[in-house]
A and B are shown apart, each in its own frame.
Chain A
Amino acid sequence: MMNIHIKNGRLIDPKNKIDALQDVFIVARKIAAIGIAPSSFMADKIIDASGLIVMPGLIDLAARLREPGYEYMATLESEMQAVVAGGVTSLACPPDTDPPLDEPGLVEMLKHRARSLNQCRVFPIGALTYGLKGAELTEMVELTDAGCKAFSQADAPLIDTRVLMRAMQYAATFGYSVWLRPQDSFLAKNGVAHDGEVATRLGLPAIPVVAETTALATILQLARATGVTLHICRLSSAVGVEMLRAAKREGLPVTCDVDINHLHLTEMDIGYFDANCHLVPPLRSLRDKDGLRAGLLDGTIDAVCSNHSPVDDDAKQLPFAEAEAGATGIELLLPLVLKWAEQAKIPLLDVLSRVTINPAKILGQKMGHLTVGAHADLCVFDPKASWKVAPGALKSQGKNTPFNGYEMQGRVRYTLLDGQVVFQY
């Protein structure tokens, strides 16, 4: 166990409202002191963070590592390299693996694989129903014992509202939270793009905003009736944000996230059928993007996630609708949050809570901050370093991203997990 001294860095810790030039001292994998060295501290390693920002490691609420089942798209080994390069120290993985995370054995295996790689804390989200088929409840207690932190349908439909209500009631019995992406599967059937100007012009089968909002209305009503702790995943529309705002005002225990793609892109980015913009949910209108940004700023939306979904090249090399949906993203999470901060002129102390303390609370974990005694999970980045997104610049096995060719500002220099340097650039 090393004693580490991170010196001369600008420390930003949203939970403790610190934004100051302060040194960080790590002893026995924990934050031992901030500012002044603890007595008799002897550094085994000194990290000079002059000109760099020191923050809690990022927490990503949606990162698909594609194991088990989709190893041709990505493996834990390949994606862990991307995760640490992105400064992410904790992530939640959706249950839509093959087979889905609906059995304790699968969850234990994933936890075990992740632990042996020791690059990042992995929090599996269990399947809400067996096989994500939307019919039978999973053994939520067993799955929780195996390590699941919440239950979700990922992007799989749950058509039967009675099953949904029962699932919420059962989860509420034990205090588990349910994570849902609102989408009415009938209204979204066969759709691949936002039902708006671009889909009309390009003749792409469309998904209307009401597919999100009707499902969201149902989910909110059921949450009200059952008292379940609810997390809304990947909100995509301005009307959806407004509904969430009202629900929060009323005091409903609901949280919400948005992904980096929807924070920055719109249907217009599809251009001439760019399959990298084939995403779930679909990229929506400029008005929706503005609504999402406003919601993220005023706290209606609590967190930003990468929705990292590596896809293999062959699956993207197809006409738009046939191409597999999804984009790599975990390495872009920090720079794209920084880009939003710069564009919206929001202080970093405020912005970075959306990728640290807020997602930690949603996961129910005491992390995402640098309080003395906390696990030393940190990200040290250079806010001035710019780089260009290109397949060769990404560690993830998935190289497809709508941000290909974009200039990014902000590069992770060190990632520390549990007091150990797991990435250095």
Chain B
Amino acid sequence: MNNPQLDKHGELQHLLTTEGLPAKILLNILDRASAFMGSADGGEIKKIPLLHGKSIFNIFFENSTRTRTTFEIAAKRLSADVVNLNVSSSSASKGETLLDTVDNLCAMHADMFVVRHSSSGAAHFIAKHVAPEVHVINAGDGRHAHPTQALLDMFTIRHYKKEFHNLRVAIIGDILHSRVARSQIHALTTLGVPEVRVIAPKTLLPTMVEHLGVQVHHNMEQGLKEVDVILMLRLQNERMQGAALPSAQEYFKYYGLTKEKLALAKADAIVMHPGPMNRGVEIDSAVADGAQSVILPQVTFGIAVRMAVMSILAGK
């Protein structure tokens, strides 16, 4: 089976998932993002005319503020024309099929689609149906993938830790329902991180998760030992209703990241979170706002990484 993300020359055609992408392509995106960040650490990203005249459609079938905004900023910094479509409030509710929506947008001469959808595989589905010159970026599909989030996480890790091959990384929280976790796991293992751990109660872990190349921990104290990077996941409120967890309080007690638990990790460990955070559920404010937190830089890096992905897909 051909990888639907790559064209016949092995170049990136769509960004749908981090799974199956060679390290070379992932690193190329990170390098490009570094170039956009400018020389100064955390410096301002200048507007550049790389995608002048290109139309980028943000199609969000599922609500999002942060991801959509950072994609919009990234596209505008590249001088592209950006159209934001909140499809959940328009065509879909009028009975238009997903394919009709996509066909219509193609007819408006879109060059690139940034898609978020609640169904796993939606981005693959759209990529399969668009014209060959149109590129698709997956901004999150169901529980499947959120590759730009994972890439900005990799960028953040490289920024603070320089290398991947000597790291211990722990992903903590609702792995079962998380597209972010899946994309992080594939990116980390591809980039050569020797030890990726997942920490969660059994109700929040998918079957055979160890086949993705991770170590499974149910106990925070053991899982956090000697860890260099901590990736927290957002715990959705609806998990409290489906018998996955008894209460937010109990979850916080055993799996919430507090200063005491953070002390078990390496002294220079960094703490990341894809946002939006549930303070007092998965993470304590003292940690979220503490010295080891790099949660806000993640957001800034996210713009550069999304600029990198867009410019590479456009062949610029």
Contact = CB atoms under 8 A, between A and B. Distances in A.
Contacts, number: 76
Contact of B19 (A201, A206, A317): A201
Interface stretch (A73-81, A105-113, A318-326): A318-326
B209 A203 contact: no
B119 A200 contact: no
A204 interface: yes
Contacts of B211: 197, 200-201
A398 to B, nearest CB: 18
B97 A201 contact: no
A319 B121 contact: yes
A355 B298 CA distance: 61
B119 A321 contact: yes
Given A203-B142, A204-B120, A321-B119, A271 B1 contact: yes
A208 interface: yes
Interface in B171-190: 179, 182
Interface residues of A, number: 23
Contacts of A99: none
B227 interface: no
Contacts of B145: 203
A273 B120 CA distance: 8
A202 interface: yes
B234 interface: no
Contacts of B119: 318-322
Contacts of B206: 199-200, 206
Interface string A254-272: 0000000000000000011
B19 to A, nearest CB: 7
Nearest to B179: A203
Interface string A166-208: 0000000000000000000000000000011101111111101
Interface in A302-355: 314, 317-322
Interface residues of B, number: 26
A202 B207 contact: no
Given A271-B1, A272-B124, A273-B121, A317 B97 contact: yes
A200 B144 contact: no
Interface hub of B119, B143, B144 (most chain A Cβ within 10 A): B119
B208 A321 contact: no
A272 B206 CA distance: 19
A122 to B, nearest CB: 34
Nearest to B98: A318
Contact of A202 (B1, B98, B117, B121): B121
B280 interface: no
A321 B1 contact: no
Interface hub of B97, B120, B122, B207 (most chain A Cβ within 10 A): B120
B212 interface: yes
A312 to B, nearest CB: 12
A205 B209 CA distance: 14
Given A196-B207, A208-B207, A319 B97 contact: no
B120 A200 contact: no
Given A195-B207, A201-B19, A272-B1, A319 B120 contact: yes
A200 B207 CA distance: 6
Nearest to A321: B119
B160 interface: no
Contacts of A200: 206-209, 211-212
Interface in B243-295: none
13 contacts: A200-B206, A200-B208, A201-B19, A201-B182, A202-B121, A204-B120, A204-B143, A204-B144, A206-B206, A272-B1, A314-B97, A319-B98, A320-B119
